[in-house]
Amino acid sequence: MLIKHRQPWHITQNRVYGFTDVKTADTMQNDYTFYIDYELKVGPPTDKNLYSKSIFVRPGMHYGLIMKPDIFKIAWEFWTDLDGEKKYYDVSYEADEETFYDNYFVIVKHSVKQKTFTISITNKSIGVKKTLVQEYEGTLADYTHAPFNFGIANFDTHIPREHMGYCEYELHDVGLFTQLHSDISVLDMITANKGCGRTPKKMLSNPIFVLNMDETTLYKVWDLSGNCFYLDYNLDLSKKLKKAI
């Protein structure tokens, strides 16, 4: 599914209609496994291609996966609170000019107890995998009120363009679980669910969202986890982006 340039998507945290009691908001504060399979597109010539591209970001103090075309890096960024001070971390994978726009599969695991992020990045186009581990000090900053954004980080008219991070990319797969799962079990689940329709054949425990790119409407992508959280086309933001930029 194409996340189009300046037409970002998001997962809302509203639990309307009482379909579920599962809360999305604080799920990335504790132990979790997040995976995403994507392929960044070279931006249109009119755009400044050297600005950072937000694949999946919780805005504010950025928390998520960001592509940096000026230095060909793929970064998992986050902030912590340490003795009242904010501290910035950037776990980076170094690609190069030839591989930057390849198809990547990224698995991020967060362990609260060990205070670590483990990020495995696979370049599917050339079959290379690298695992990075980052320990941190203090506690993870509070992202409880931040939305889950795809294709943008922040937007407000006063925010400089380089911090907005909008971009265009092909989203192949994405999922979030509030539990640590092994890379192999995540891959097994994805393989088992290929072409499964609306009902998953295999589901790992504690899913928050597991998006099914085979099932889409004009505005939404189906959530296989059953929690009824959807990847929505962010209409409001797209309208604002069209007007403002």
Partner 1 sequence: MSEEKLTEGLDLHHENKWFRETKNKLDKVGCGFCLAKWTQVTLQLQTGHTHSCHHPKTHKIPVTEISRNPSALHNTLFKKRRRKEMLEGKRPKECDYCWNVEDNSNQFSDRVFKSNESWSAPHYEEIKNLDWRSDFNPRYVEVAFSHTCNFKCSYCGPAYSTTWQQEVEKFGGYPTSDNFNSIERHIQEDKWPQKQTEHNPYVEAFWKWWPDLYRDLHTFRITGGEPLLSKDTWKVLDYIIEEKNPNKNLQLAINSNLGIDDKLVDRFIDKINKICDEDRVKEFIIFTSVDTWGKQAEYIRTGLEFNRFWDNINKILTKCPRVNVTIMSTYGCLSVPNYKKLIEGVYDLKKTYGSRDRYWASAVFLDSSYLRYPWHQSVQILDDKWHNEVLEQAKLLYFMGVPIFDHNYIGYSDIEIQKVKRIHDWMTAEKDPKHIKTSMQNFYRYFNAHDRRRDTDFISTFPELEYFYEKCKKLCL
Contacts of 239 (CB under 8 A, 6+ apart): none
| Binding of partner 1 by 159 (CB under 8 A) | yes
Q: Which is nearer to partner 1, 131 or 219 (CB)?
A: 219
**Positions 23 through 42 that interact with partner 1 (CB under 8 A):** 25
| Binding of partner 1 by 165 (CB under 8 A) | yes
**Positions 55 through 114 that interact with partner 1 (CB under 8 A):** 59-62, 66, 77, 79, 86, 88
HEC per residue, 18-70: HCCCCCCCCCCCCCEEEEEEEEECCCCCCCCCCCCEEEEEECCCCEEEEEECC
Tell the smallest beta-carbon distance from residue 137 to partner 1 (Å).
17
Q: Burial of 115 by CB count in 10 Å (0-12 exposed, 13-18 middle, 19+ buried)? A: middle
Tell the smallest beta-carbon distance from residue 55 to partner 1 (Å).
13
Tell the smallest beta-carbon distance from residue 82 to partner 1 (Å).
14
Q: Which of 129, 130, 145, 202 binds partner 1 (CB under 8 A)?
A: 145
Tell the smallest beta-carbon distance from residue 205 to partner 1 (Å).
19
Gap between the Cα atoms of 58 and 63, Å rounded: 5
CB 221 within 8 A of CB 210: no
Q: Which of 42, 156, 202, 245 binds partner 1 (CB under 8 A)?
A: 156
Size of the site for partner 1 (CB under 8 A): 42
Closest CA to 189 of 6, 16, 35: 35
The 3-state DSSP class for residue 99 equals coil
Rg for the chain (alpha carbons), in Å?
17
Q: What residue ranges bind partner 1 (CB under 8 A)?
A: 12-19, 25, 52, 59-62, 66, 77, 79, 86, 88, 145-147, 153-156, 159, 162-163, 165, 215, 217-220, 222, 228, 230, 232-233, 235, 237
